[in-house]
Amino acid sequence: QLQLVESGGGLVQPGGSLRLSCAGSGFTLDDYAIGWFRQAPGKEREGVSCISRSGLSTNYLDSVKGRFTISRNNAKNTVYLQMNTLIPEDTAIYYCVRVRRDIITACTPTGSWGQGTQVTVSS
């Protein structure tokens, strides 16, 4: 079965950094575009960043541009989300998921949701 497992979340102070990892199992990750989504309490799930199969194309939510960087290492079947200069509004559960390949127009999930990883930004 196609499985994605998120890790790397935690509790950090404002201005801190975290790197999230999304590891694939049972398939070759470079066959798929991948997106990071997040859901905060009382909020709708939103797309944070998406990356193409090759890693050459990316997009970002406006509020994280300049602070977050998505990347992938296909040899390790892993996609990363480097999060810098974190603010309390970044607090959410973060999920990775397969998305449609046309990521420039939209990040549209096509896979199933896993457990996610909790990110909490608080002083």
Q: How far is CA 6 from the centre of its chain?
A: 9
CB atoms near residue 113 (< 10 Å): 13
Per-residue pLDDT of 64-117, as tens digits, reads: 999 999 999 988 889 999 999 999 999 999 999 999 998 888 899 998 898 999
For position 3, what pLDDT does the model report?
A: 86
| Residues facing 10 on adjacent strands | 119
Residues 94, 116 contacting (CB under 8 angstroms): yes
Per-residue pLDDT of 10-29, as tens digits, reads: 999 999 999 999 998 887 88
Structure tokens at 47: 């797309």
**Rounded CA separation 34/30 (Å):** 9
Residues 17, 86 contacting (CB under 8 angstroms): yes
